[in-house]
Amino acid sequence: MPDPLYNWLTSRGAGVLLHPTSLPGDTGIGALGHWARRFVDFLADVGMKYWQVCPLGPTGYGDSPYQCFSAFAGNPYLIDLDDLKNEGLLAEPDLEPLRALPTGYVDFGAQWEVRWTILQKAFAKFLEIAKGQTQDAFRQFQEINADWLESYALFMAVKGQFGHRSWLEWPRPYRKYRTLIKRADMTEAGLAHAFYQFKFFQQWAALKSYANQRGISIFGDIPIFVAMDSADVWRHPSLFQMDTELRPTGVAGVPPDYFAADGQLWGNPLYAWKRHEMDDYAWWCARLRKSFELYDVIRIDHFRGFDEYCRIPPDAENAREYTWEPGPGRKLFEAVRRRFPNAKLVAEDLGIITDSVRGLMQEVGLPGMKVLQFAFEGATEYLPHSTIPYSVLYPGTHDNDTSWGWFRSQPDHVKTFLSEYLSTDAKDVPWELIRAGYASTSRIFIAPLQDFLGLGSEGRMNTPGQAVGNWRWRFTPEQLDRVWAERGDQLRMFARLYQR
């Protein structure tokens, strides 16, 4: 067998899975300002090494960070508006509509209705007062990121012009990308979207620097697929399985499995892998280059799709009808290695994994994932004593119920097995699983913040196959302060005892 391309995971550490939208704050959604830094302080103080997030792209229908308008852009919802106020781009009355929103969950509909108007005010003020170095920084950002920013800004501007409908529903002349407007002549609507990206990446860079200085690595996540309604597909249709009328000839998903009896019909366009191979996977490498600006470690979602992917008819109502098609395999990762020899990548290898997928993972040399909930349901290779060191272990991920929610729904034999295995009376299941994870052989252990807070199903982030009502959960400052005060010493002890 060839030598693995990567073998980077050599030390132990622990961390927390928390998407930034779940942070506290008084503008209706988590942001990249004070509370993000406060969360970093918590991680550093209790001996953590990782903050894992979901994808950070701009979300559309369903609010899923796995269905974004761009694989390169950041989510303007995460821009900290109080920071813009401190820069003189907004005034307190501008923020009052958002101050009135709930603090316990994200109302994405209200964000859509209100936030864009506020961001537009900030952009107008920026045009009015920006001078010298500030203007130069914005121009430099546009120049450095022109390869994706121009098409994304134009895409969002045209989308707004046509009532935010999918580009597949735009008038025919607009469906085929072309350079309608040169960057120097970009419409104000397009320039506004470029400005939102400028502020997002500026704030994220400051937050990431703060985290790194405190010893915290940002553990990011990129979906294998991109959204059909995205600047990526609109700009590069030849990279995807589309016909001459720019209609998909097949879409992505997964067959029926643990999560969904009808499978999951994601609807993403499928890659034309032969076309990608012709230019040595240039688009994928450009995507990863931008991702490595955001993250220190990257989890690649649905790794199985690189070995073989599930192809579903474009007009299907569910994922029960499908075929398996070959993916790019090792060739893609060889191209990635040539450009990023020190990349820290993790493969999401959950679900039904074949020997062929396992073989590709061994060839490429990426650590995979293990889930304790699955372990106690019967996947005994995920038990703490059985996991291989070169892996990342979780009680559950963003797609699972919380540990309490999961345990309470289990049959008696699963509850009994957990109690016997952990030598516990199951009075504090989340913390019992956290300790077991710290003690496991896996070199990285990461738990959702909801488990540290001891939450039940009310804290669940996402239910696969459910189109609406996901991604809304947020925590409060009081919850963080309480776990910090009551469990901080215990977490420091875990880090010391288990060498994390």
Distance CA 51, CA 67 (A): 22
pLDDT at 193 > cutoff 80: yes
Out of 399, 401, 432, 451, the active site residue is: 399
For the stretch 306-343, pLDDT in tens is 999 999 999 999 999 999 999 999 999 999 999 999 99
301 belongs to the catalytic site: yes
Distance CA 113, CA 77 (A): 12
In the numeric block, the tokens 């303007």 are attached to: 76
Out of 107, 280, 301, 308, the active site residue is: 301
26 belongs to the catalytic site: no
For the stretch 397-421, pLDDT in tens is 999 999 999 999 999 999 999 999 9
For the stretch 35-76, pLDDT in tens is 999 999 999 999 999 999 999 999 988 899 999 999 999 999
For the stretch 228-284, pLDDT in tens is 999 999 999 999 999 999 999 999 998 887 767 888 898 999 999 999 999 999 999
Residue 365 φ/ψ region, left for φ over 0, alpha for ψ in the -120 to 50 degree band, beta for the rest:
left
Percent of the chain with pLDDT over 90: 87
pLDDT at residue number 183: 41
- Residue 392 phi/psi, 5-degree rounding, is -120, 125
Strand partners, 51: 16, 218
pLDDT at 126 > cutoff 90: yes
Q: Which of 346, 357, 426 is nearest to 392 (CA)?
A: 346
136 belongs to the catalytic site: no
**Average pLDDT in the chain:** 94
Q: Which of 481, 423, 483, 426 is nearest to 451 (CA)?
A: 483
Out of 83, 232, 348, 401, the active site residue is: 348
Cβ–Cβ under 8 Å, residues 377 and 410: yes
Query: Residue 376 — pLDDT band, cuts 50, 70, 90?
Result: very high
For the stretch 87-114, pLDDT in tens is 999 999 999 999 999 999 999 999 999 9
